[in-house]
Structure 1
Amino acid sequence: MSSYLAPRAVEQASSLFDSLTRRHVIEGGFLKGWDAEKNHDLRFSFGLTGVDQIGNYLWVDVLVFTFIAIGGFTLILFLVNIVWRQMRHVTTMGNPTRQEYWEGNRTRWWPWINRHVLMAPLHKKRHNRGFQISSAIDNGTLPGRWHTLILTVYVAANIAWCCILPWNEERASVVAALRGRSGTLSALNMIPTVLFALRNNPLISILQVSYDDFNLFHRWAARITILEAIVHTVAWLANTAEGGGWVSVANALRTESSYTWGMVGTCAFTLIGIQAASPLRHAFYETFLNIHRLMAWVAFVGVWVHLRDHGLPQIPWMQLIFILYGLEIFARIVRVWYNSVRVNGFSRVKVEAMPGEAVRVTIDLVRPWYARPGCHVHLYIPTMTWLSSHPFSVAWAPTAALDSKEMTLPTLEGQILSPHAPKKSNQISLICRARTGFTRQMFDRASASPNETFTTWGMLEGPYGGHHSLDSYGTVVLFAGGVGITHQVMYIKHLIDGAHRGTTSTQKIVLIWTVPNSECLEWIRPWMDEILRMPGRKKVLRVLLFISRPKRALVNTSETVKMLEGRPNHAQLTRDEFRNRVGAMAVTVCAGGAFADEVRAAVRPLVTEGSIDFIEEAFTY
């Protein structure tokens, strides 16, 4: 890129600068009467005088190739992992005698990296447990070590590139070089900022990296973009004010649309950075999201006009951003239309109030689709939230069972090669815990309705996620805290059915669910009743229900389904299941941050002792 674009960009910019100076800058008014012989420093406040375009494009190339290298490394890890799991799946499904080989680790170095880098929190065991200033103010979470390493390299590289300037030149020239470097990097960093924020980001499927991880990188890329935009603006202000006074600054902003819209973009970015702070974002999420989107578009338009009016070579980057956003909007509309829109209306949404301040939401789909275990959707109910949506895990999707004659060997882990694909569902159900905003509105309205149920129309976007397959593990332990059970129920149904038909490697399933009281069991009672009646269930499934604040004495009538008082000892339970595992073991968790961190801490010491993987489902929006 630098070998071709940089010299050409410098040549084009120099020609443009001469034209701009003659037709707009001097004659247009904001520097009218300016004497170039007496005010040499002012020439560094506009155009590309003093800007190191060749160096700018060099660092652009380095940053682009850094992203490609990280993406390539992640893709290689994913491909190796899927091949390994596929081998394990094919050799063990329906054959317990072959499980022993997969119980141990085949190398020493990979479990060590997994335990101390990929799975490890930044310090001790705190990762997704939020820093609570008060019960209403959340100050965010800590990234893990692997994420911290990537972010440190990314942030340090941007800082370093903004510091590699021609320090031996005069002061105004150095400031102009900083203006060009920070502006170029800010425009470039807008691309990953936008890409990582998209729900339909193609890298999620290609790299099998969760949206939650990409959302973390989105936030940090946005912070770098905003800071560099501010530095870019301050550098321009410094040279302009020093060379021609604040009158020149005011005239430039008033008469030159490029500078006017550039300032609009910087102000919009600054507002985004302020209102996206974790306490404000979590306290008023729906409000934050609407303001965030509006300010993002204002910033994009501002940067676009700023680049266009100066004819700068970063214009194709903004075109790419608009294309990404356009494709995202198109993909969302298609998903919503396919699932929810029909000639005579929209999907029917039934909302039932449940004990424990929760609601069960049942959506009738216009067209059926297959809900993967672990997937989630975004729900729109315009009569309550206009066009805002909220993500929820798919707790249940009733599907007709396949005839055993239709089953053949899996081609890829979790997929069935059959002339008759798995029958899709026309309906899905969600469990939503009432907190603030949308979920609280649904609960309050349902509670005040006859029979504590109301029906309305709505739209559904999805499904998203559900990339983690557990089909190749002989032992699966599923931890759930409260409404986190919605993520696990579909896995249980799928794995029991697979174990009975011999299409998965599953030999043991343990569900450990913690709820405040036994009334919360009503959330999933009809679905658990169906699961408990599935053929082969008693051979593989064991359920431990921990009631942290029971209202009455607990009575157990089954050996495979037990209710226990108090909270689980995550470390002891995990180690017990690990010692008695069959084949490779997977531990998954969907719960609050503190709960999930405890499970992670319980799994990490075992990673170097045998084959065990940890999978966490977190919605840290």
Structure 2
Amino acid sequence: MDFYRTAGIEAMISSASTAVEVQGPDRSHPEVESTSTIAPYYSGVNGINQAQNMLFKEALWWTLGIIALVVLTIRMLEIVWAQLRLISAMSVAREKQGYWRISQWSWMPAAKKHVIYAPLWKKRHSRGFRLSSAISVGTLPSRLHMALLVGYLGSNFTYMFVLNWANDNRYAFCAELRGRSGNLALVNMVPLIILAGRNNPLIPVLKISFDTCNLLHRWIGRIVVLEVVIHSIAWAIAAVADNGWEYVRRAITGGLFIGSGTLGTVAVVMMLIQSLPSIRYAFYETFLNTHIILATIAFVCTWAHCASASVPGGLPELSWIMAIMALWFADRLARVIRLAHANWSGRGFTYAICEPMSGEVTRVTLTLPKYMDIKPGTHAYLRFWGVNS
């Protein structure tokens, strides 16, 4: 007997060990019939386990918060320890500073050698990893970075596939997977945007480099794309099974909800393709500008997708995408203000003189329109407005 053929599908399914909240069929849709085992599960929030979605959202955000708190605590201890060393050593002779010549923790040198600064394999993670002399596949993370990535990506996969595998109705299963993957994609967009910004407040607070943030940004972006694709496929499976591909085409072209979701999916997949290292390194300026345009399309489509759902007030994730876009807009605005402040004054704009040198090196001499306090050993990311021959 098919449980979902009964006329009254309850919103709460209880068992001896657990209670799972499952949304019942949405009767506001005319295509939903009480005898259907497919139709309810590609419309509205039918079959979506929203209680578990919110639970895993909290778990993922708490995981990130705890990691940031641990790093902040370590950085504060390092600052205090360095200050104690400075105060104790500044007033004594050099020969009396022997205490500070060796590590005070016997395990620290081994931790730095084998974990903190160690490459993943024998390849230095700061050097490019190539399949051939012409094809670069990016840089390998360090062992510490890899441990963080494996833990974070592993938690995403765990949360995504904690589903009701005993469900005999595969379309109800797809609905639950659709809700979970879409929810996690929005959850991951929050750290994705925070880690992407050059004005990221975590960089000075946690004393981590922009390169580390960028590494985490790239990998979180890849998991977001995977979750978005799974979200779309899970919806399409039930829709095609019930009404065929012609219905899918009409839903994409004739409705804001499905149309915006499809366009957003296409945008993030294109972002993944054009961010491949071999393309990104060869055409970085093109990559960067295209990346910003595609990100704008993806965010706007996600907002429209969440707002146009048949749920009163939109999907629960609507407030998240609003916060994500606010963070993204604030970062873009801060970049514009910072660029204008550093490169423009009443005397004009910054200009550069580029001189070719031996060894495929170019010396760039910048003439700034105002005084800038540039510390020794710093570096700059340069973008050129145009070229004067």
Tell me which interval the TM-score lies in, with the shorter structure as reference length. Answer: 0.7 to 0.9
Are residues 97 and 291 of structure 1, via their aligned partners in 2, closer, same or farther at CA, if it must alter by over 3 Å?
Answer: same
SS in 2 for 1:139: strand
| Cα deviation, residue 287, structure 1 | 1.8
Who is 2:368 aligned against?
Answer: 365
Give the Cα–Cα distance (whole angstroms) in 1 for the partners of residues 145 and 215 of structure 2: 9
CA deviation vs aligned residue, 1:9-56 (integer Å, no higher than 9, x gap): xxxx9799555x2xxxx4xxxxxxx36145331110111111000000
Preserved CA contact (<8 Å) 1:39 1:243: no
| Cα deviation, residue 143, structure 1 | 1.0
TM-score scaled by length of structure 1: 0.56
1:147 correspondence with 2:150: no
CA deviation vs aligned residue, 1:126-176 (integer Å, no higher than 9, x gap): 322322233332112221111111111111111111111112222111110
Give the Cα–Cα distance (whole angstroms) in 2 for the partners of residues 287 and 333 of structure 1: 19
Pairs within 5 Å for 1:409-488:
none
CA deviation vs aligned residue, 1:427-462 (integer Å, no higher than 9, x gap): xxxxxxxxxxxxxxx9xx6xxxxxxxxxxxxxxxxx
Give the Cα–Cα distance (whole angstroms) in 2 for the partners of residues 186 and 67 of structure 1: 15
Q: Counterpart of 1:139 in structure 2: which amino acid?
A: V
Give the Cα–Cα distance (whole angstroms) in 1 for the partners of residues 135 and 77 of structure 2: 42
Q: Counterpart of 1:350 in structure 2: which amino acid?
A: I
SS in 2 for 1:360: strand
SS in 2 for 1:140: strand
Give the Cα–Cα distance (whole angstroms) in 2 for the partners of residues 155 and 177 of structure 1: 20
TM-score scaled by length of structure 2: 0.87
Taking CA–CA contacts closer than 8 Å with sequence separation of 6 or more, which of the two structures ends up with the larger relative contact order? 1
Preserved CA contact (<8 Å) 2:23 2:48: no
Are residues 339 and 244 of structure 1, via their aligned partners in 2, closer, same or farther at CA, if it must alter by over 3 Å?
Answer: same
Are residues 14 and 166 of structure 1, via their aligned partners in 2, closer, same or farther at CA, if it must alter by over 3 Å?
Answer: closer
Pairs within 5 Å for 1:81-100:
81-93=78-90, 95-100=93-98
Who is 2:18 aligned against?
Answer: none
Give the Cα–Cα distance (whole angstroms) in 1 for the partners of residues 128 and 347 of structure 2: 45
Who is 1:507 aligned against?
Answer: none
Q: Which has the higher strand share?
A: 1
Are residues 288 and 133 of structure 1, via their aligned partners in 2, closer, same or farther at CA, if it must alter by over 3 Å?
Answer: same
Q: Counterpart of 1:372 in structure 2: which amino acid?
A: K
Give the Cα–Cα distance (whole angstroms) in 2 for the partners of residues 71 and 37 of structure 1: 49
Which one has the largest radius of gyration? 1
Preserved CA contact (<8 Å) 1:194 1:321: yes
Matching residue within 135, 138, 143 for 2:136: 138
Identity of aligned residues (%): 36
Who is 1:73 aligned against?
Answer: 70
Who is 2:57 aligned against?
Answer: 60
Give the Cα–Cα distance (whole angstroms) in 2 for the partners of residues 354 and 129 of structure 1: 22
Preserved CA contact (<8 Å) 2:347 2:369: no
Who is 1:510 aligned against?
Answer: none
Who is 1:460 aligned against?
Answer: none
Preserved CA contact (<8 Å) 1:137 1:283: no
Q: Which runs of 5+ in 2 are unaligned?
A: 1-11, 13-21
Q: Which moved more, 1:142-151 or 1:107-116?
A: 107-116
1:42 correspondence with 2:39: yes
CA deviation vs aligned residue, 1:265-290 (integer Å, no higher than 9, x gap): 00111111112112222222222222
Preserved CA contact (<8 Å) 2:25 2:40: no
CA deviation vs aligned residue, 1:444-484 (integer Å, no higher than 9, x gap): x6xxxxxxxxxxxxxxxxxxxxxxxxxxxxxxxxxxxxxxx
1:177 correspondence with 2:189: no
1:321 correspondence with 2:324: yes
1:228 correspondence with 2:227: yes
Give the Cα–Cα distance (whole angstroms) in 2 for the partners of residues 326 and 35 of structure 1: 40
CA deviation vs aligned residue, 1:342-400 (integer Å, no higher than 9, x gap): 2352134333444444333332333323212332223333123xxxxxxxxxxxxxxxx
Give the Cα–Cα distance (whole angstroms) in 2 for the partners of residues 377 and 73 of structure 1: 29
Preserved CA contact (<8 Å) 2:271 2:291: yes
Q: Counterpart of 1:345 in structure 2: which amino acid?
A: G
SS in 2 for 1:124: coil
1:374 correspondence with 2:380: no
Give the Cα–Cα distance (whole angstroms) in 2 for the partners of residues 166 and 259 of structure 1: 25
Give the Cα–Cα distance (whole angstroms) in 2 for the partners of residues 15 and 342 of structure 1: 62
CA RMSD of aligned residues (A): 2.3
Q: Which moved more, 1:84-93 or 1:294-303?
A: 84-93
1:351 correspondence with 2:354: yes
Give the Cα–Cα distance (whole angstroms) in 2 for the partners of residues 153 and 380 of structure 1: 35
Q: Which runs of 5+ in 1 are unaligned?
A: 1-6, 8-12, 27-33, 385-441, 446-621
Are residues 113 and 359 of structure 1, via their aligned partners in 2, closer, same or farther at CA, if it must alter by over 3 Å?
Answer: closer
Give the Cα–Cα distance (whole angstroms) in 2 for the partners of residues 349 and 126 of structure 1: 33
Preserved CA contact (<8 Å) 1:178 1:232: yes
| Cα deviation, residue 177, structure 1 | 0.3
Are residues 365 and 16 of structure 1, via their aligned partners in 2, closer, same or farther at CA, if it must alter by over 3 Å?
Answer: farther
Matching residue within 333, 336, 342 for 2:345: 342
Q: Counterpart of 1:110 in structure 2: which amino acid?
A: M
